Structure 1
Amino acid sequence: MSVVRSRCAPLALLLVVLAGCQSGVDGGQAAAPTTSSAPTPAAAQEVDAAVISIDPPLGSVDVDPVTPLRVFAGHGTLSAVAVTDDAGTPLAGALDPASATWTASTDLGYGTTYTVTATATDAAGRTTTSTGTVGTVSPRTLTMPTVFPNADNPVVGVGQPISITFDEDVTDRAAVERRLSVVTTPHVDGSWSWLSDRTVHYRPADFWPARTHVAVDADLYGVDVGGGVHGQASKHVEFDIGPKRVGVVDASELVLRLYVDDQLVQSMPTSLGKSSSPTPSGTYVVMQQSRRYTMDSSTYGVPIDAPAGYRTEVEYASRLSNSGIFVHAAPWSVGQQGSRNVSHGCLNVSTANAGWFYDNFGRGDVVQVAGAGPRLAETDGFGDWNVSWDEWLAGSALHPGV
C-alpha cells in the first residue's frame, strides 16, 4: 500500500487540533486555557535601619539656652536618651507617646556643654546609637530684670505704671520688648516706653480702669539684650488695680480734694512749696509710705547746716517723687495751710489729715498738682503721666512715633 503525502496535511492537522480545543462536552462553551507554574518563595522584606537626629545638631556651640533640645528617631523608636551637663547632672526630658521624639523639659544653662547619648530600635530589633555634645553660649555678663508691682504689692492704684529695671545697660531694646507681655482683664491697650538704658515702663493711654487684673511676663532668660549681656532670669507677676483714688490740688486755692471712684470723700487745706522751692506741677503717683520719716535736705544737695538746710522727722509720710515730694504731717505750718505756700516742695497737711491720707491712699494712687512750679519730669518717680500719649509711644523700641 502506498502512502500519499500532501503538502496540506499539516494545515488539516492544525484545524483538527483547533476544532478539538474549541469543542466542549455536550456542546457547551469552550473552557479557557490554563497555565500552571511552581510557586516561588516570597521576596525577603528589607527593613530600614533606625536613624537618630538631634536639634541643635551634635557639635553645635554658642547655642541659645532657651533653644529646645530635642532628639528624633526615624524608621524606629527611641529606646534610651541621656543628656548630662558638665558635672554629669541629667537634663530632665520626656518621650512623646510614640517614642519618636524626646524633648528637654527645662531650659539649658549658660556656658555649658551637654553630652547627648541616644539609642533607637528599628522594626527588626536592630539598635542604632548616637552620641556627641551641644554647647551653649557664654555671656559677657548677665542682667537681672526687676518687675514692679510684685508679689508684695498685689493691689495698686490706677496710676501705677509697670516698671522693669535692669542692673546692666540694655542696648538692644527691641529684643527686650519682643519678650515682654501684658495681659489684662478686661482688655486694656497700653505700650512700653524706655526712660533710660536700664528702665522701661508700661502704661495705658489713660489711668488703668479700676479693678483691672494685670498679668506681666518678662520672658528674658536667654535673651541677648546687646553687647554680650544676657537675661539672667524670666519673671511673671500678677496684680490687681484697686478703686480709682485721685487727689487734686490747685496752687490758687491750696485745698487738696480727694476722690474715690470720682466721688469727693475728703478735703484738706495744704501748703505747697514756697517760691524758692516750688512744688512741680503735674501728675504724681504714690510710691511708698512711712509711718515716720526723716526729712533731710542733704539728700537733694542742701547741707543740713546751710541756711535752707534741715533734718526733721515727720509723721505719715507718703512719697510722691524721687526728688523728695511727700504728702506729710506738718503741724508747724497748720496756720499757713490753705492760705500760703511755705514748704520746701512737699504738700504740708495737718497731722490728722496726713493720717487720713496715709490710711486711705496708697501705692499707685494719684495726686495731681496744678498751677504750681514747672512740670514734674517723666523720670522723677512715676512721672509717666506727664507726657502725652504720642510722646509715650515714641519711647517704644518697636513702634516709635506711632
Structure 2
Amino acid sequence: MSGSRATAVLTALLVLALPGCRAAAADPVQAAPAGTTSAQPAPAPAEPVVISTDPPLGAVDVDPVTPLRVNAGHGELTAVTVTDEDGVVLPGGLDADGTTWTAAADLGYDTSYTVTASAVGAGTPAQATGTISTVRPRTLTLPTVYPEGGSVGVGQPISVTFDEDVTDRAAVERQLRVTSTPAVTGSWSWLSDRTVHYRPEQYWPAHTHVAVDVDVYGLDVGDGVHGQQSEHVEFDVGPEKVAVVDAAELQLRLYVDDQLVRTMPTSLGNRANQTPTGTYVVMGQSRHYTMDSSTYGVQIDAPGGYRTDVEYASRLSNSGIFVHAAPWSVRDQGRRNVSHGCLNVSTADAGWFYENFGRGDVVEVAGAGPALQVWDGFGDWNASWADWQAGSALATPAA
C-alpha cells in the first residue's frame, strides 16, 4: 500500500472512534443491566364492609308498611336480628347473594324496633346496632267489606265502610282494587265520609268472579287517622236474576238469564205510601219478619202506624221496602195498590221468590212513586253512570 492510501484509511478509522461522532445507523437501544426486573404497582387495600338500613337507623314516625331492609356493602351479612320492645323477633330473610335482608312482615304502629347486624368481606368486617320507630296514629279506623264472600246476584255493589270519618278520600281510593273475571268497567263512588261503593257500568256479567283488596293498613286516611288493617275479599256472581214490575200493570215478572220463569200479581204502595220508582237490590231475607212502622218514624198507634208479622220477607231498601207474603191483600194484587210501600204477593209467590232470588238480585220498579235514592239500601243503580263516576275522589273535574 502506498503511503498516501495508508494515511487515508487510518484517518477514517480515527474519525469513527472519536467521541460524539455519529455513524450513519441509529444508536442501539441500551439494555437493562443484567439481573434486574420492571417495578409492579402495590395492590389497593380492600374496601371496608359497610352496613346500612332502609329506613336508616334512628328514623322515627316510619310508615309501618315500609319494607325494612338491612344491606351490606363490600361484603355479606352474617347475622341480622330485629326485635320489638317486647323482644319479639321480626321475621325476615336474606337474598341469594347474602347482601340484603328484608323483613317478611309489616311493622306495628307506635313501636320501636332494635336492629342488630354483622357482615364480613375482604375488608374490615362491620357491625351495626340502632333503632327504628314507627308512627303513632291519633286513632285507627277499621274497614268492613260487603259482600264478605259467597255468591251474590248481578246487581250487588261492593261496599266499604269505615268506623271513622275519612277526610283524605283520594288516598283511600288509591288503595282500593277490584279485580274481576271477566273484566268490567266500574267505578268507586263515595256515599258519605265513611262509606264508598263500587259498581260496574252495567250489571255484573253472570258467573263473574270478583276479588276486592282494601290495602289501608299503615295509611293515613286524614287527620291522623290510620287504617287498622287491610282486607281481602272474594265472591262469585250467580245467574242473572231480574224481577220487573210496572205500577200500571201490577205484574211482577221474574227473569233468570233473560228467560221469564214466573209472573206474580202484586200490590204496591197506596197513595199515601207510594213505592219509590227505581232499581232495587235484594239486601237480605227473613223467613219470618215483623213489619214495624216505628222503624221509619211512624209510631204504631199513630194514623198509618202498624206492627204486622209476615212470612218470606226479602228486604229491598233501608227505608222498609220488601217483597213479602201478604195473604190479606191477595184480592187486590194485580188490581190496585194497597200496601204501605212493599211489594205484596201471595204466600206461595213470596215463598218462591224467597227460595229462588236472594242477595244481590235485582228488582226494577217502574211508574210508581218518587225516585229511589242512591243511598237507600243498595240504590246505586239509580244514579246515571256519569253521576256515579263523579262521586269518585279520583274523578277528573268536568271542564
Taking structure 1 as the reference length, what is the TM-score of the superposition?
A: 0.91
Where 1:107 maps in the other structure, the secondary structure is coil
How far, CA to CA, are the matches of 1:41 and 1:252 in structure 2? Answer: 105
* Counterpart position of 1:122: 121
Trace 1:170-181 onto structure 2 (pairs within 5 A).
170-181=166-177
Is the contact made by 2:162 and 2:195 (CA closer than 8 Å) also made in structure 1? yes
* Counterpart position of 2:264: 268
How far, CA to CA, are the matches of 2:290 and 2:198 in structure 1? Answer: 31
Where 1:298 maps in the other structure, the secondary structure is helix
Unaligned runs of 5+ in 2: 1-10
Trace 1:158-169 onto structure 2 (pairs within 5 A).
158-169=154-165
Q: Deviations over 1:148-174 (max 9, x none)?
A: 1113xx111110001100000000000
How far, CA to CA, are the matches of 1:190 and 1:261 in structure 2? Answer: 21
* Counterpart position of 1:363: 359
Q: Given the alignment of the two structures, is residue 215 of structure 1 paired with residue 220 of structure 2, yes or no?
A: no
* Counterpart position of 1:27: none
Q: Which letter maps to 1:75?
A: H
TM-aligned CA deviation for residue 44 of structure 1 = 4.5
Where 2:271 maps in the other structure, the secondary structure is coil
Q: Which letter maps to 1:225?
A: V
TM-aligned CA deviation for residue 401 of structure 1 = 4.5
Q: Which letter maps to 2:127?
A: T
TM-aligned CA deviation for residue 274 of structure 1 = 0.5
Trace 1:227-376 onto structure 2 (pairs within 5 A).
227-376=223-372
Q: Given the alignment of the two structures, is residue 190 of structure 1 paired with residue 190 of structure 2, yes or no?
A: no
* Counterpart position of 1:101: 100
How far, CA to CA, are the matches of 1:162 and 1:338 in structure 2? Answer: 34
How far, CA to CA, are the matches of 2:397 and 2:251 in structure 1? Answer: 38
Is the contact made by 1:393 and 1:400 (CA closer than 8 Å) also made in structure 2? no
How far, CA to CA, are the matches of 2:329 and 2:113 in structure 1? Answer: 69
How far, CA to CA, are the matches of 1:245 and 1:35 in structure 2? Answer: 104
How far, CA to CA, are the matches of 2:31 and 2:164 in structure 1? Answer: 93
Q: Deviations over 1:301-353 (max 9, x none)?
A: 11112232111111100000001100000011111111111111000000000
TM-aligned CA deviation for residue 46 of structure 1 = 0.8
* Counterpart position of 2:131: 133
How far, CA to CA, are the matches of 1:400 and 1:245 in structure 2? Answer: 34
* Counterpart position of 2:52: 53
How far, CA to CA, are the matches of 1:10 and 1:313 in structure 2? Answer: 143
Tell me whether 40-49 or 95-104 shows the greater mean CA deviation: 40-49
How far, CA to CA, are the matches of 1:173 and 1:397 in structure 2? Answer: 6
Q: Given the alignment of the two structures, is residue 113 of structure 1 paired with residue 112 of structure 2, yes or no?
A: yes
Where 2:232 maps in the other structure, the secondary structure is strand
How far, CA to CA, are the matches of 1:291 and 1:15 in structure 2? Answer: 128
Where 1:348 maps in the other structure, the secondary structure is strand
Is the contact made by 2:16 and 2:23 (CA closer than 8 Å) also made in structure 1? no
TM-aligned CA deviation for residue 127 of structure 1 = 2.0
How far, CA to CA, are the matches of 2:116 and 2:297 in structure 1? Answer: 64
Count of matched residue pairs: 387
Unaligned runs of 5+ in 1: 1-5, 23-29
How far, CA to CA, are the matches of 1:174 and 1:41 in structure 2? Answer: 65
How far, CA to CA, are the matches of 1:40 and 1:168 in structure 2? Answer: 77
Is the contact made by 2:15 and 2:21 (CA closer than 8 Å) also made in structure 1? no
Q: Which letter maps to 1:74?
A: G
How far, CA to CA, are the matches of 1:268 and 1:85 in structure 2? Answer: 64
How far, CA to CA, are the matches of 2:132 and 2:29 in structure 1? Answer: 74
Where 2:273 maps in the other structure, the secondary structure is coil
How far, CA to CA, are the matches of 2:33 and 2:259 in structure 1? Answer: 105
Q: Which letter maps to 1:71?
A: V
TM-aligned CA deviation for residue 117 of structure 1 = 1.1
Where 1:196 maps in the other structure, the secondary structure is coil
* Counterpart position of 2:66: 67
Q: Matched residues, percent identical?
A: 68
Residues 10 and 43 of structure 1, relative CA distance in 2, 3 Å threshold? farther
How far, CA to CA, are the matches of 2:321 and 2:174 in structure 1? Answer: 35
Is the contact made by 1:390 and 1:401 (CA closer than 8 Å) also made in structure 2? no
How far, CA to CA, are the matches of 1:221 and 1:10 in structure 2? Answer: 101
TM-aligned CA deviation for residue 43 of structure 1 = 2.4
Q: Which letter maps to 2:244?
A: V
TM-aligned CA deviation for residue 399 of structure 1 = 1.2
TM-aligned CA deviation for residue 88 of structure 1 = 1.1
How far, CA to CA, are the matches of 1:225 and 1:76 in structure 2? Answer: 41
Tell me whether 31-40 or 230-239 shows the greater mean CA deviation: 31-40
Taking structure 2 as the reference length, what is the TM-score of the superposition?
A: 0.92
How far, CA to CA, are the matches of 1:176 and 1:16 in structure 2? Answer: 95
Where 1:175 maps in the other structure, the secondary structure is helix
TM-aligned CA deviation for residue 206 of structure 1 = 1.0
Q: Which letter maps to 1:12?
A: A
TM-aligned CA deviation for residue 277 of structure 1 = 0.7
Where 2:122 maps in the other structure, the secondary structure is coil
Q: Deviations over 1:278-314 (max 9, x none)?
A: 1000000000001111111110111112232111111
How far, CA to CA, are the matches of 1:313 and 1:35 in structure 2? Answer: 121
How far, CA to CA, are the matches of 1:31 and 1:307 in structure 2? Answer: 128
